[in-house]
Structure 1
Amino acid sequence: MPARFVAPIAFGTILQPLNSSMIAVALVGIRDHFQAGSSVTWLVSALYLATAVAAPAMGRIADLLGPRRTSLGGLALVAAASVAAPFAPGVGTLVACRVVIGIGTAAQYPCGVAMVRQAADRLHARSHSALGAIAACSQVTAALGPTLGGLLVGGFGWTGIFWINVPLAVCAAMVILRWGPADPPTAPEEAPAGRLRSLARIDPLGILLFAATIAALMFWLLSLANRPEWWWLAAVVPCAALAVARGLRARDPFLDVRLLGRRDLSFTYLRTIATYTAFYCVFYGLPQWLEEARGLGPTGAGLVVLPTAALGAASTFAATRLVRRRGPRVTLLVGTAALLVGGLLLTVPRTGSPILLLLAVTTVLGLPNGFNNMGNQNTMYSAAPAERTGAASGLYRTSQYVGANLAAAVLALLLGHHTDDAGLHRMGLTVAGIAALLLLTSLAGTVRRAVHREHRTERHHQWN
């Protein structure tokens, strides 16, 4: 695809990983400013919850109203909430602003993928480079977010992490308006009435049931870190049943259960949850060990894990070429094998291990990120119907954040209140176990498809 399309699409997607990672270095300042105590942790959870619920909803809106319009609407929400946040009278208002920011940033990924598909279909071009650019932006931004956040908090206080969203959202809107692929034209006699009729088709009841299911599930996952609140899990069952019933009976449902009936698509979501559980275990667990057990402090820990970000971006570009030549399945095999090796390497470091050894481990840990992300993303893209690309991409994003919250629970169980060598090694074995399971399922699927192709070829020869 032409770079003039790829750049504006990818630029908008940096807002979500940036806002999810910058907040880590601002929590202490916010807590002291409002004397809020542990309630500031809702600033982290609120964004994840809002994104997990809003991503498929915004993707569905993009399918109906057009991804470019929906993306610009999301950017307007981000800018408005970011202007209001520094003047919040309390943590509750600040959490509400984070929810609105989560909704606005949630629109960017599904809208970006939908714009990629529209442009690729119209230009008869391959989409691998555009999807690779989106993946690379997410990888780099998430990794550099704490560093940028530290500079902003140091220079402007905690409000800096909100103010930075305003120029970024304005710039993203300007480049999308200037170079972003246009939405399909609306007939003059159908606008704005046609858009209102399209909004009526979004299925608000389906969105409400889906939101209740995801919120109950993620509240339960978050509770695992302290005292499990099983009644949240009990609430998931009836909410999910009602959401499925609505998806089967509605004429134009928000959650198309038949879409999840596509084996490749539903399996991709499950694999994404498992992959991101392992990814976020490393993303949050390793720096914690470097600070608490190795004694490097925040700056030293950030520098040690920097190779993970650098190689993650480089592996994304390598994975883009591999997808183009060999397809997403081979890319996933490489990514899960590298994740298995990286997990096993996490069992090697000790408190007294030299920095060079730690740098070698973090370098290897950056390798699987690009391959797994590109493999899962391209599998989802290929399996999703063209008219449901936005909604399918939103569910893919939701899968990532379910994995993030599951990782938080796993880390609480593995690391405890103070991270030591044994906790790091347990985390490494858990990551390796997840990778081994993913690798076995990928190999089994590859063998099954090879046998199927062989049988089909034999039948073809018999008929001829």
Structure 2
Amino acid sequence: MTAPAGRWAAAFRRGGRPRGGAAPGTAPTTRPDKGPDQAAFDRRLLPPLVLGSVLNPINTSILAVSLVPIGAAFGAAPAQTAWLVSALYLATAIGQPVVGRLIDLYGPRRLYLAGMALGGLAGLVGTFAPNLGVLIAARVVLGFGTCAGYPAAMYLIRSEADRTGRDSPAGILTLLAVASQTVAVIGPPLGGLLIALGGWRSTLALNVPLAAVGFLFGMWRLPRTDVPPRREGTRLAAELDLAGMLLFAGALVTLLLFLMNPHVELWWLLALTAALAVGFVVREVRAGKPFVDVRVLRGNLPLVTTYARALLAYLVAYAFLYGYTQWTEEGRGLSASQAGFIQLPLFATAIVVSTTMGRSTDIRVKLLVGAIGQVVASSLLFLLGAGSGIWLLLLVSFAFGIPQGVLNLALQNSVYQQADPARMASSAGLLRTFSYLGAMAASAATGAFYPHRADSAGLHELAMLMLVVAALFLVITAADRSLARTGSSLAKG
């Protein structure tokens, strides 16, 4: 371990961070037009940070009300349209740590702009997709396009802390969480409105203006990064650990192929997944510059536990988002616009909870509130049936809003405190990767429990899975003593 890296590691073990200076391995950023207050967070960065972070959530929430109309348009069952969910999250799960590592090495500007361009392209392809296969391909492109926003945001927040010599305000992290919740509020009703006015294709076309605005803000506000000469040209392959990336991607692809069609005769996919995963770990241990430094993860159990919690939490969250919304349309008989408005209490509550609890630095309390909330909310799904009143549907949506708001914020704060600052962007990317692994598992479960249509029996089976996963999340959180130390150095702002 180099001396600078040792200084960061020693500071982490003490529960703090060294003040001043850039994290090891990062390049300086230039801001020729900096304002007079050099010790304050540069709030001119906020528009591109927020726009980059919300492109994925808005596509997530809009798709929840689009799945049934898309299935009707192409004659596809829920088990087939589930690929629209899984394809995006597979691409994002693979791309987030890759792009995060590139941002750690080269800075956020170019990666952010490239991501916005891909997002716009995906919107165009999806708008004119002639069949389900092309639409799935557009979602893959969109997944890669949304990879840069969140790692870039976390990188810039960390770099601002290094520049000012103090931790960035907790309010900045809260803003990112609240922004994601806000667009999620807008997503379902907006999706329902767009479908009513222009059909499901208009929900894909929305990405074109969003990506254009994000691109312009990125060009205008993001700082340019001075890339060290040793990272140019032929050294790129060595810096990126392409072998590790391919093994990582291969393991995710084979795992998803099995999850989307879990039959005994496909056992070999699980065996191949295990082999690729073992090969990935061996490769990363031996690599001089690993894609994912498993040695650091091995010595940072709190961060590993946070990633495990993210997988469990988002499995429940996405199973509800897609499984419940499809049920309200097919099992309960609501229109797409009505199903979208039924989701409003969830996301509105999440905004209030995120804003309120964002003022607290006690991450353990946030996680416990979220875990208990998921257990209670999952239990309410057993009360639903084809004749359930609208008031009960709204109550269930409200109940899920509490864990939705608090867990997103708590997990984000956890990574900010637990990760090596020199790998903040890639660590943030890995958080999203594990979140999307949960989303893929939720998509596979939804397809399995809704083989032909989203009926009440399938919803109750899905609810049982969600309840078990939520209970496991609660047990892991309650037993984690390291959480008492996490969050103590978050600055309030």
TM-score by length of 1: 0.84
SS of equivalent residue, structure 2 residue 226: coil
- Pairwise CA distance, 1:125: 4.1
- Pairwise CA distance, 1:183: 4.7
| Equivalent residue runs for 1:94-133 within 5 Å | 94-123=135-164, 124-133=166-175
What is residue 275 of structure 2 aligned with on the other side? 238
What is residue 226 of structure 2 aligned with on the other side? 185
Shift of the 415–260 alpha-carbon distance from structure 1 to 2, 3 Å rule, reads same
Note the alpha carbon deviations across 1:241-297, whole angstroms, 9 max, x for none: 111111011110112111321201111111111111111122122223333443334
Note the alpha carbon deviations across 1:44-63, whole angstroms, 9 max, x for none: 43222211111111101111
* Alignment-mate amino acid for residue 251 of structure 1: G
What is residue 55 of structure 2 aligned with on the other side? 15
* Alignment-mate amino acid for residue 252 of structure 2: I
Distance 1:21 1:52 in 2: 18
Distance 1:295 1:30 in 2: 16
Shift of the 127–238 alpha-carbon distance from structure 1 to 2, 3 Å rule, reads farther
The answer to whether the aligner puts 1:370 opposite 2:405 as a matched pair is yes
Shift of the 73–419 alpha-carbon distance from structure 1 to 2, 3 Å rule, reads closer
Distance 1:159 1:305 in 2: 21
- Pairwise CA distance, 1:449: 5.9
What is residue 58 of structure 1 aligned with on the other side? 99
SS of equivalent residue, structure 1 residue 223: coil
Note the alpha carbon deviations across 1:143-175, whole angstroms, 9 max, x for none: 533433343444445543343222211211222
- Pairwise CA distance, 1:128: 2.4
Contact conserved, 1:67 with 1:114, CA < 8 A, in 2? Answer: yes
Distance 1:197 1:120 in 2: 32
Distance 2:214 2:304 in 1: 32
Of 202, 205, 209 in structure 1, the residue corresponding to residue 240 of structure 2 is: 202
Shift of the 355–230 alpha-carbon distance from structure 1 to 2, 3 Å rule, reads same
Shift of the 91–387 alpha-carbon distance from structure 1 to 2, 3 Å rule, reads same
Distance 2:171 2:411 in 1: 15
Distance 2:65 2:378 in 1: 27
What is residue 456 of structure 1 aligned with on the other side? none
| Equivalent residue runs for 1:341-360 within 5 Å | 341-360=376-395
Shift of the 424–37 alpha-carbon distance from structure 1 to 2, 3 Å rule, reads closer
The answer to whether the aligner puts 1:310 opposite 2:352 as a matched pair is no
Distance 2:227 2:65 in 1: 45
SS of equivalent residue, structure 1 residue 106: coil
Of 307, 315, 318 in structure 2, the residue corresponding to residue 277 of structure 1 is: 315
| Bigger mean CA deviation after superposition, 373-382 or 426-435 | 426-435
Distance 1:24 1:390 in 2: 28
Of 268, 284, 293 in structure 1, the residue corresponding to residue 306 of structure 2 is: 268
| Equivalent residue runs for 1:253-264 within 5 Å | 253-261=290-298, 262-264=300-302
Distance 1:448 1:71 in 2: 32
Contact conserved, 2:42 with 2:160, CA < 8 A, in 1? Answer: no
What is residue 28 of structure 2 aligned with on the other side? none
SS of equivalent residue, structure 1 residue 346: helix
SS of equivalent residue, structure 1 residue 57: helix
What is residue 78 of structure 1 aligned with on the other side? 119
Distance 1:301 1:125 in 2: 41
Q: Which runs of 5+ in 2 are unaligned?
A: 1-40, 486-493
Distance 1:448 1:25 in 2: 37
Equivalenced residue count is: 440
Higher helix share: 1
Per chain length, whose mean CA-contact separation is higher, i.e. which structure has more relative contact order (CA < 8 Å, sep 6+)? 2
Distance 1:289 1:319 in 2: 31
The answer to whether the aligner puts 1:168 opposite 2:206 as a matched pair is no
The answer to whether the aligner puts 1:405 opposite 2:440 as a matched pair is yes
* Alignment-mate amino acid for residue 75 of structure 1: M
Shift of the 86–410 alpha-carbon distance from structure 1 to 2, 3 Å rule, reads closer
What is residue 46 of structure 2 aligned with on the other side? 6
Note the alpha carbon deviations across 1:186-245, whole angstroms, 9 max, x for none: 46xx3xx74335633111111111110111112222223x78732221111111111111
What is residue 371 of structure 2 aligned with on the other side? 336
Identical-residue share of aligned pairs (%):
38
| Bigger mean CA deviation after superposition, 133-142 or 241-250 | 133-142
- Pairwise CA distance, 1:361: 2.8
- Pairwise CA distance, 1:37: 5.0
Shift of the 154–195 alpha-carbon distance from structure 1 to 2, 3 Å rule, reads farther
* Alignment-mate amino acid for residue 144 of structure 2: I
Distance 2:134 2:385 in 1: 43
Note the alpha carbon deviations across 1:375-394, whole angstroms, 9 max, x for none: 11111221111111111111
Of 277, 289, 306 in structure 2, the residue corresponding to residue 252 of structure 1 is: 289
- Pairwise CA distance, 1:419: 4.9
- Across the aligned residues of Structure 1 and Structure 2, the Cα RMSD in angstroms comes to 3.0
What is residue 27 of structure 2 aligned with on the other side? none
Shift of the 72–441 alpha-carbon distance from structure 1 to 2, 3 Å rule, reads same
What is residue 190 of structure 2 aligned with on the other side? 148
- Pairwise CA distance, 1:334: 1.4
| Bigger mean CA deviation after superposition, 116-125 or 203-212 | 116-125
Contact conserved, 1:313 with 1:370, CA < 8 A, in 2? Answer: yes
Note the alpha carbon deviations across 1:12-68, whole angstroms, 9 max, x for none: 1221122334345556776787x6756665444322221111111110111111022
Shift of the 422–43 alpha-carbon distance from structure 1 to 2, 3 Å rule, reads closer
Contact conserved, 1:64 with 1:199, CA < 8 A, in 2? Answer: no
Q: Which runs of 5+ in 1 are unaligned?
A: 451-464
Shift of the 2–317 alpha-carbon distance from structure 1 to 2, 3 Å rule, reads farther
Contact conserved, 1:316 with 1:374, CA < 8 A, in 2? Answer: yes
Note the alpha carbon deviations across 1:300-343, whole angstroms, 9 max, x for none: 333222201111122111231123xxx21221111112222222
What is residue 211 of structure 1 aligned with on the other side? 249
Distance 2:84 2:444 in 1: 17
